[in-house]
Chain A
Amino acid sequence: MENSKPSLRDEIVRVAGAGVHRDGRWLVRGVDMSIARGEIVTLIGPNGSGKSTTVKIALGIVPADEGEVWRARGLRVGYVPQKVAMDRSLPMTVSRLLALTGRRSRSEIAATLASVGIAHLAGAQIHSLSGGEFQRALIARAIIGRPDLLVLDEPVQGVDFSGEVALYDLIGRIRDDTGCGVLLISHDLHVVMARTDTVICLNGHVCCSGTPEAVSLTSEYAALFGPRGAETLAIYRHDHDHAHLPDGTVRDAAGRLHFDHHAHGPHCGHEHGEKHQDA
């Protein structure tokens, strides 16, 4: 993925030494982060490690009690928060939700809904959607305005596995098409790391950051996620032509299932855990 990075960093958000203090304790402290156009930055870390807070600092939703936050002037943001609790008394169709923060044409709405795979739900009420469908609607809403910065706080919650892979692919495609920066929070180390340029590992502070390969080799990463974390990362990093299903089965590009977790086709001549050349 090295070649998809911008050669000249066109920075759109920078957070330096930021911290948020609440009820006598620091939720996060000493956060340094920078997002450039065309870059996908992923925040990982255990529950309560301050991932959402860090995102909110970067977006200006939560003011930083120390440190500095800078955003490019006139930055267009598309945001998918971790939780959206809409009161049931508010009638809302999926189409109307997409026009929440700006006027949108009918064709824009149709095209965006199609890109997240819910074109058939345009006229459906939000309250009738399943968790995964609602999540897709929120992502559609965030991307319809062609943002400079797309921010997704656990975007695949409630989405099944194949949908999850498709959504991460979509996020990567949006980045490729529009050149926007992407800030992502995720628990799914394996799926997301393969599509990330920079990983920031949080646990109340920045433990480590860098490319997925570099981060996975650090002792801080191993301490947080254990050797299994590093292993998963390596597996998913090296190969994009097959998918690992939750039960350990491997589905290859042709749709065949391999029940031996570490089985690779004869074309795949590499050792496990070793960095693989991206095609």
Chain B
Amino acid sequence: MSNEFSLDATTESTAEHAIVLRDVHKSFGHGRYQVFKGVNLDVKRGEITFVLGPSGVGKSVMLKHILGLLKPDAGDVLIFGKPIPYDNASALNEMRKHFGMLFQYAALFDDMTVFQNVAFPLVEHRRSMTHAEMRLKVSEKLLAVGLDPEQSLDKFPSELSGGMKKRVGLARAIVLEPQILLYDEPTTGLDPVTRAMVDDLIVDTNKNFGLTSVVISHDIPSALYSADHIAFLFGGQIVFYGTTAGFRECQHPMVQNFLQSEERHRKEMHV
């Protein structure tokens, strides 16, 4: 097996789907807890795909499969048409450089400034870059996510608001210019204004950088606003995959339950 996970021009041009999960099975606790019972998902290139589902259904497990942090018991995970090289640590790391990820609480390193946080992937993977080049790159990415570099570069995460942390986390996720961006519950626990800001950020980042985005969430309004396609994970399988319009029409009881709960919540807010 090659040591490199290269996404050459041929691979990229032929792969219509950025991520493919094909009949993925996964269980934990020596088979006692079966999380995936044949998950199939095709994430189209350049689109924003939301993976929705109730808590504990295995949405984060899916992210870990996409990143190669977990290996399926059966089935395949393909990234731009190539299988994940689980048994080759350097090729796996090479593959991960094509991903960026925004964590639920941004996961910024507490002991590093905003500059050090965003520059971290550059320090690790672009060793030939000078400090000045890194500073320029970091400033460029901070501007792209709506932060003023002059105001934020030397701040520590503890000095930032929740929304600013998300922006810095996103700047860090895109600094290596990945092809795929993953979001883990990006709007959970945010106030409505910051939530709307994050929704816009997802759409703008995807468009401006020509990315493929996968968003793990249970936030229906966010999904309906930002998604090109929605996948609904329930009972170890994708029970719905389609457009936002199709999602509203879906007759699956759990999807209906989800939509009705959201509708009730929205009405209560208006009373």
A in complex with B: no
Name B's A-contacting residues (CB within 8 A): none
